[in-house]
Structure 1
Amino acid sequence: MAADSLPLSPPAPTGTAPARPRRRAWLMVAALLAFMLLNYADKAVVGLVGVDLLHDLHIDAGEFGVVQSGFFWLYAVGAVAGSFLIGRVPARWLLGGVALLWVLCLLPMVWSASFTVLLVSRMLLGFAEGPSAAIALGVAHSWFPAERRTLPTSFVVAGASFGPLVAAPVITAVVARFDWHAAFAVTAAAGLVWVVVWLLVGRDGPERVGHSGSTFAELPEHVPYRRLLTSGTVIGLTVLFFATYASVAVKISWLPLVLRQGLGYDATTTGWLVALTYGSGGVLMILFGAVSRALTKRGAGVRASRGVLSCVLVATAGLCTMFWPSLGRGPVQIFFLVVGTSLCVGAQGVAWALVSDVTPARQRGTVIGVMVSCYSMGGVLAPLVLGDLVNSAANPFDGYRLGFAGLGLLLLVAGLIAVRLVRPERDVVSFAAASPSAVDA
């Protein structure tokens, strides 16, 4: 038996899950949540120390936007390269190697105060983090049958919110006690600890074949990539993720500076407000995962319980994002800020489950990698555009306000487009009707 394979318990009676694999599955979910938590803490660290970086490196808002955009320049390349390895390299070694690369990319900023070193390290970190979502979701989905994937998917993706939630107050405290270099040392050390733990417990799951949900036709073992990647569901989700990832990139890159430079909050208050936006997003991601699961159990179609639900959440987030900067400083403004960011993130866990609903297991990593490479352009463009708007505005807050209005409009339009395109039942029936022996062109 291979070192990374797991002995399965004897088959349980119908309707009952074997206890040991079920416990192991949720252990993997916890480990993958921590993986995504560290992934986004690493992304967020530059934004959280941004004011000190601007001062010490003598850079302006435009150059800071270049640094934050630079993270995504090689992100798509990493996503495609890493996704190619899914299914070819055991998850134990693939995720451990990826996380170790993160650590190596963070280390130079522990001692360097060079703009060039910062930019290069962020570019390499982006390359190393590119395949993270594809690998983590591929592993998580391998541990659960299709009808049970939404909630564990939401937990894993929720790590993207809990990462900055944990990082914001911790890094703020570390910088206040030491300096911004120490923030990179802390995130690198945390990544190294995760690598050691994952090498001890990480494994691939037993779920290898198509969809077993009652509302779907059975997925064939292989669908031509041309059909998969041009299906309405995959295109619609990619559009949706482009907008939500632009929002995530802006929040990671610029929200701490908006709160400090634009609204005048001090560093400690900014850290807690940033943590609030991420924490709320993580909680709502899990909550909407449970809501989607409940709708499915009550007989709702997958389009309604996963597709329409996620699109409505993103469109609503867009409306909040458009208007919160114009409401005036105070509790109402913070409420709309938190709701807008939280709904946007909360939709992602539900939407991600749809990818595996329409993708055969053996092709899942490649499809997710291609989607990541496409929607990551939102992360490339959004920080650059906002930086240019801030530089060209009469005062920084006018630039921030215009930038968030445009971001909100993007989210609203993406939600409306995706709700028309995302039709998983129709797409799966189309795939199932095609010849299972079809060969890619």
Structure 2
Amino acid sequence: MAADSLSPAAPSETDRPPTRRRAWLMVAALLVFMLLNYADKAVVGLVGVDLLRDLDIDASEFGLVQSGFFWLYAAGAIVGGFLIGRIPARWLLGGVALLWVLCLLPMVWSTSFTVLLVSRMLLGFAEGPSAAMALGVAHSWFPAAKRTLPTSFVVAGASFGPLVAAPVITFVVARFDWHAAFVVTAVAGVVWAVVWLIVGRDGPEEVGHGGSTFAALPERVPYRRLLTSGTVVGLTVLFFATYASVSIKVSWLPLTLRQGLGYDATTAGWLVALTYGSGGVLMVLFGAVSRAMTKRGAGVRTSRGLLSCVLVAMAGLCTILWPSLGRGPLQILVLVAGTSLCVGAQGVAWTLVSDVTPARQRGTVIGVMVSCYSMGGVIAPLVLGGLVDGASDPLAGYRLGFAGLGALLLVAALVAMWLVRPERDVETFASAPRPVPGRKDTVDA
């Protein structure tokens, strides 16, 4: 049997109109969940110039703070991934959102570099499992063939968060001071948690064969096989690069626009908002494009895998180019394209994880993937901070850093293009011998 000819699983019987309405209500709530998640990430970058001045820290120390957010991110992702399916989504996501609030509160009054660093580390731990939790709940509300668009909407919250936060926080800081930005994000977290505890629920979508695009996917696959499959490894590499890009955008883009290119605070805030807004729009757009390609008969590797890789490669080229262009419309266009295409690829690519992972194992696999690719968020802000401090002038450091980031995106896209083959991996899982109880040589790794 050819790899692309694997028959799709039958649609779920739970896809009735009342369920669809409730499902899209959950998608809306999860979009806001991811919106707040990324607003919390972005707040330090958005107040960065004032924070650098008041705390008397340099670019390397600022890079350390932004990197510190990701030091415990991997541990949080693994712990959260283990809890998915073991604690009802109503309590799990509500509790996580309240934990974010507790981590934000110290910066409402503190002016200590140590407090800032520790609070960002703890916030990173609390936010580590957010994507896995949100996608796990979203996928439980939709049959496999219809997950691409809702997945794109949920992940788009990552772009809409800074889009909303940038102008709001810029206004708040100008009217009050940078501490007020942490008050706003903490209050928003409390409001969301209360609403979620009222309306949030796990979905009715059955696990097992109905949880994947492929009917051939077994109900359980040894983790050793899952985590070393080409698709999971390729996606992890792709996400490592895109997450490095996201962390640079969250951490350094406002400072690059102000310190490196000379934009004023208001203009820089709106440009940052534009990059996030266009990313969210393209994420939903490419989710629809992927769905249309599938309807027209394209294989899953093409409509979800290769599409994502091409978008990331194009983002890499734009990332290399934009800092070297002169200020003006062309530079803004290339900047927006580079950030938006990279983000737009993520919603489509995330759907592939559920295509090759049995439903009961999805949370753990996503948690492990997040823990691996989040290292991009640890490394990238530190490297860029060091380049800026070591350069003859800030702009030269920023140009070198973004050129390296663009090259990373290009390489990751090519590697993922070679490795991501979901049809082949599912066929391999289906043909593998099933574990026999009591046999040590077949125990699930």
User: What TM-score, normalized to structure 2?
Assistant: 0.95
Q: Distance in 2 between matches of 1:318 and 1:136?
A: 27
Structure 1, unaligned runs of 5 or more: 1-12
AA aligned opposite 1:75: Y
- Contact residue 212 and residue 218 of structure 1 kept, 8 A: no
- The alignment status of 1:392 with 2:390, answered yes or no, reads yes
What secondary structure is seen at the aligned counterpart in 2 of 1:68?
helix
Who is 2:350 aligned against?
Answer: 352
Aligned pairs for 1:164-175 within 5 A: 164-175=162-173
Who is 1:140 aligned against?
Answer: 138
User: Percent identity among equivalent residues?
Assistant: 84
Q: 2:288 aligns with which of 287, 290, 297?
A: 290
- The alignment status of 1:280 with 2:278, answered yes or no, reads yes
What secondary structure is seen at the aligned counterpart in 2 of 1:181?
helix
Aligned length: 429
- Contact residue 205 and residue 211 of structure 2 kept, 8 A: no
Who is 1:10 aligned against?
Answer: none
Who is 1:439 aligned against?
Answer: 443
Alpha-carbon shift at residue 211 of structure 1 (Å): 4.7
Q: Distance in 1 between matches of 2:106 and 2:13?
A: 52
- The alignment status of 1:106 with 2:85, answered yes or no, reads no
- Contact residue 232 and residue 420 of structure 2 kept, 8 A: yes
- Contact residue 77 and residue 129 of structure 2 kept, 8 A: yes
Task: Give a deviation string over 1:1-45, Cα, whole Å, max 9, x none.
Answer: xxxxxxxxxxxx999931111111101000000000000000000
What secondary structure is seen at the aligned counterpart in 1 of 2:123?
helix
Q: Distance in 1 between matches of 2:211 and 2:299?
A: 10
- Contact residue 315 and residue 337 of structure 2 kept, 8 A: yes
Query: Quick one: structure 1 residues 268 and 214, their matched pair in 2 at CA, closer, same or farther if it must change by over 3 Å?
Result: closer
Task: Give a deviation string over 1:343-390, Cα, whole Å, max 9, x none.
Answer: 000000000000000000000000000000000000000000000000
Q: 1:20 aligns with which of 18, 40, 60?
A: 18
Aligned pairs for 1:36-115 within 5 A: 36-115=34-113
AA aligned opposite 1:256: P
Query: Quick one: structure 1 residues 358 and 16, their matched pair in 2 at CA, closer, same or farther if it must change by over 3 Å?
Result: closer
Q: Distance in 1 between matches of 2:335 and 2:280?
A: 15
AA aligned opposite 1:260: R
Q: Distance in 2 between matches of 1:73 and 1:15?
A: 43
Q: Distance in 2 between matches of 1:432 and 1:14?
A: 21
Who is 2:365 aligned against?
Answer: 367
Alpha-carbon shift at residue 138 of structure 1 (Å): 0.5
Where does structure 1 differ by over 3 angstroms across 4 or more consecutive aligned residues? 13-17, 210-215, 435-439
Aligned pairs for 1:190-209 within 5 A: 190-209=188-207
- Contact residue 43 and residue 165 of structure 2 kept, 8 A: yes
Q: Distance in 1 between matches of 2:358 and 2:430?
A: 11
- Contact residue 281 and residue 341 of structure 1 kept, 8 A: yes
Task: Give a deviation string over 1:266-310, Cα, whole Å, max 9, x none.
Answer: 111111000000000000000000000000111110000000000
Tell me which moved more, 355-364 or 213-222: 213-222
Who is 1:330 aligned against?
Answer: 328
Alpha-carbon shift at residue 159 of structure 1 (Å): 0.1
AA aligned opposite 1:306: R
- Contact residue 45 and residue 171 of structure 1 kept, 8 A: yes
AA aligned opposite 1:267: A
Q: Distance in 2 between matches of 1:409 and 1:399?
A: 16
- Contact residue 161 and residue 279 of structure 1 kept, 8 A: yes
AA aligned opposite 2:289: V
Alpha-carbon shift at residue 436 of structure 1 (Å): 4.0
Who is 2:262 aligned against?
Answer: 264
- Contact residue 217 and residue 428 of structure 1 kept, 8 A: no
What secondary structure is seen at the aligned counterpart in 1 of 2:56?
coil
Who is 1:408 aligned against?
Answer: 406
Tell me which moved more, 18-27 or 233-242: 18-27
Who is 1:116 aligned against?
Answer: 114
Alpha-carbon shift at residue 435 of structure 1 (Å): 3.3
- Contact residue 213 and residue 355 of structure 2 kept, 8 A: no
* Aligned residues: CA RMSD: 1.4
Alpha-carbon shift at residue 314 of structure 1 (Å): 0.2
- Contact residue 215 and residue 301 of structure 1 kept, 8 A: no
Alpha-carbon shift at residue 168 of structure 1 (Å): 0.1
Q: Distance in 1 between matches of 2:13 and 2:30?
A: 26
Task: Give a deviation string over 1:202-235, Cα, whole Å, max 9, x none.
Answer: 0001123245599734211110000000000000
Query: Quick one: structure 1 residues 261 and 17, their matched pair in 2 at CA, closer, same or farther if it must change by over 3 Å?
Result: same
Q: Distance in 2 between matches of 1:326 and 1:416?
A: 24
Who is 1:4 aligned against?
Answer: none
- Contact residue 216 and residue 429 of structure 1 kept, 8 A: no
Query: Quick one: structure 1 residues 25 and 357, their matched pair in 2 at CA, closer, same or farther if it must change by over 3 Å?
Result: same
- Contact residue 220 and residue 436 of structure 1 kept, 8 A: no
- Contact residue 134 and residue 369 of structure 1 kept, 8 A: yes
- Contact residue 137 and residue 202 of structure 2 kept, 8 A: yes
What secondary structure is seen at the aligned counterpart in 2 of 1:59?
coil
AA aligned opposite 1:56: D
Alpha-carbon shift at residue 439 of structure 1 (Å): 3.3
Q: 1:303 aligns with which of 301, 304, 307?
A: 301
Who is 2:8 aligned against?
Answer: none
